[in-house]
Amino acid sequence: MTGDREKRMAMDEQLVLDGNAAGGLLAAAYGADVTSWRGRCVHCGTISVVATLRVYVGGPGTVLRCPVCAGVVIRIAETPTGLRLDERGMAELGPGR
């Protein structure tokens, strides 16, 4: 189901923002401003700065995707019991090396 990578993915949606748009939410999740942090997309290997990720907001949660392959790298949901963070799509996330 995930192998159909050759499908064309439009990256020009009106709801697409860059990683800075999720900066506040990310800061709440990580306890620090991480927009300048880097990480490696586990889907395609591209190393990106968080601020350059594609951000999709307005759904049930916020989804950050790789700017190259559009793979999901970070997901955040705000629930009554706190923020839920899934960063499994972003390896070696941390301050710039």
Partner 1 sequence: MGERFVTRGFVGRRDAPGAGGDLRARTPPGQYLTSDFPVLSAGPTPRTDLDRWSFRIEGLVDRPIEWTWDEFLALPARDWVVDISCVTKWTHLDMRWRGVSVDTLLEGVELDPAAAFVIAWCDGDYTTNLPLADVLNGQAFVAYEYDGAPLRPEHGGPARLVVPARYFWKSAKWIRGFRIQAADEPGFWESLGYHNRGDQWLEERYSGD
Q: Which residues bind partner 1 (CB under 8 A)?
A: 1-2, 4, 7-11, 13, 15-16, 54, 56, 58-61, 63, 65, 70-72, 75-77, 79-81, 84, 86
The DSSP string of 17-68 is: EEGGGGHHHHHHHHSS--TT-EEEETTT--EEEGGGSEEE-SSSSEEEE-TT
Task: State which residue, 6 or 97, has the beta carbon closest to partner 1.
Answer: 6
Task: State which residue, 3 or 95, has the beta carbon closest to partner 1.
Answer: 3
Task: State which residue, 38 or 43, has the beta carbon closest to partner 1.
Answer: 43
Task: State which residue, 39 or 89, has the beta carbon closest to partner 1.
Answer: 89
**Whole-Å CA distances, 34 to 49, 71, 85:** 9, 19, 14
